[in-house]
């Protein structure tokens, strides 16, 4: 069981990214697509918000919030409405009738697990996805200002995204404390994620003259500088949102 810390809008950055990048897959099914908010915590806000945001992309989207604590499920039940339900379960995911979700979002769930357990959890969750489905697993601070997540398909990890509320950012390496479990112990010399954050800090410092134009302009300039040495999986449209996404192979742990 997680601590259950939940604040409204805590996962808004992750939700916006999902709605933007996973929109074609959400629109593809003939029937209403299903998303799972795994480990939503002590209050149901993140599941409620996920449904609202997905329905801007697909009006008949459905969300099931899954929690391992029966008391949390009972407390969330009054918030159920058409398209939103809550269920007791864990990584096995309750799948009535064998339905597979098109999206699983697992935020701030795996940080309490040992690093060696991450690959198995990823494989188990990805094995539950519908064809073309997406698992988004990551960590954020209590109010959603700093966030790092990994996106995975049925075949494994695809990308890692770094996102921040730019007005509060002093340097990109501040995101290191929000690295997901698969990466947080790898932020050491010799590991790709450490090199990426080091290079990002250098690019951020070099972009300081853009600071008077606003933190967004400085971030965009710094991210653009990264393209000289790093393959990026997104473009200026996402950078302006305070995000940057790297293909998983570029930032994956060594060994």
Question: Do 98 and 158 reside in the same domain of the chain?
Answer: yes
CATH of the domain at 97: 3.40.50.150
Among 164, 192, 208, give the residue marking a domain's end: 164
1: pLDDT strictly greater than 60: no
Res. 198 pLDDT band, cuts 50 70 90: very high
Parent domain of 222: 166-230
The closest alpha carbon to 158, from 136, 176, 186, 187, belongs to 136
Those residues whose C-beta lies under 8 Å from the C-beta of residue 211, and which sit 6 or more positions away, are: 217, 218
Residue 124 lies in a domain: yes
Helix (H) / strand (E) containing 36: strand 34-38
Q: Are residues 62 and 135 in the same domain?
A: yes
Q: Are residues 42 and 160 in the same domain?
A: yes
- Residue 208 in any domain: the answer is yes
- The model scores a pTM over 0.75: yes
Q: Is position 171 within any domain? A: yes
Q: Is the dihedral of CA 114, 118, 121, 124 positive or negative?
A: negative
Residue 251, in any domain of the structure:
no
CB-based contacts of 29: which residues, under 8 Å, 6+ apart?
102, 130
Q: Which residues contact 240 (CB under 8 A, 6 or more apart)?
A: 216, 220
pLDDT in tens, 29-45: 999 999 999 999 989 99
**Residues 207, 155: one domain?**
no
Which residue among 164, 179, 207 closes a domain? 164
Overall number of domains in the chain: 2
| Domain identity same for 201 and 140 | no
- For the chain, the average pLDDT equals 94
pLDDT, average across residues 173-184? 97
The answer to whether residues 26 and 128 belong to one domain is yes
Q: How confident is the model at residue 172 (pLDDT cuts 50, 70, 90)?
A: very high
Q: Which residues of 108-130 are buried (b: 16+ CB within 10 A; e: fewer)?
A: bbbbeeeeeebeebbeebbebbb
| Same-domain pairing of 36 and 139 | yes
């Amino acid at each position: 069981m997680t601590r259950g810390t939940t604040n409204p809008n805590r996962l808004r950055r992750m939700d916006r990214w999902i709605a933007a990048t996973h929109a074609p897959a959400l629109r593809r099914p003939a029937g209403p697509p299903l998303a799972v908010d795994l480990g939503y915590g002590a209050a149901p806000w993140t599941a409620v918000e996920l449904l609202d945001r997905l329905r801007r992309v697909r009006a008949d989207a459905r969300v099931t919030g899954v929690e391992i604590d029966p008391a949390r499920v009972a407390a969330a039940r009054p918030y159920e409405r058409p398209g939103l339900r809550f269920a007791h379960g864990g990584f096995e995911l309750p799948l009535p009738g064998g339905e597979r979700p098109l999206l699983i979002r697992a935020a701030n769930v795996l940080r309490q697990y040992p690093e060696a357990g991450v690959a198995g959890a990823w494989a188990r969750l990805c094995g539950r996805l519908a064809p073309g489905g997406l698992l988004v697993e990551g960590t954020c601070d209590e109010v959603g200002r700093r966030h790092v997540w990994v996106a995975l398909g049925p075949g494994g990890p695809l990308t890692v995204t770094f996102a921040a509320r730019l007005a509060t950012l002093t340097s990109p390496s501040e995101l290191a404390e929000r690295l997901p479990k698969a990466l947080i112990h790898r932020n050491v010399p010799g590991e790709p994620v450490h090199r990426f954050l080091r290079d990002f800090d250098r690019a951020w410092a070099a972009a300081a003259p853009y600071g008077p134009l606003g933190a967004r302009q400085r971030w965009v300039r710094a991210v653009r500088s990264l393209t000289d040495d790093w393959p990026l999986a997104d473009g200026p449209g996402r950078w302006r949102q305070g995000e940057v996404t790297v293909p998983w192979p570029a930032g994956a742990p060594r060994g």
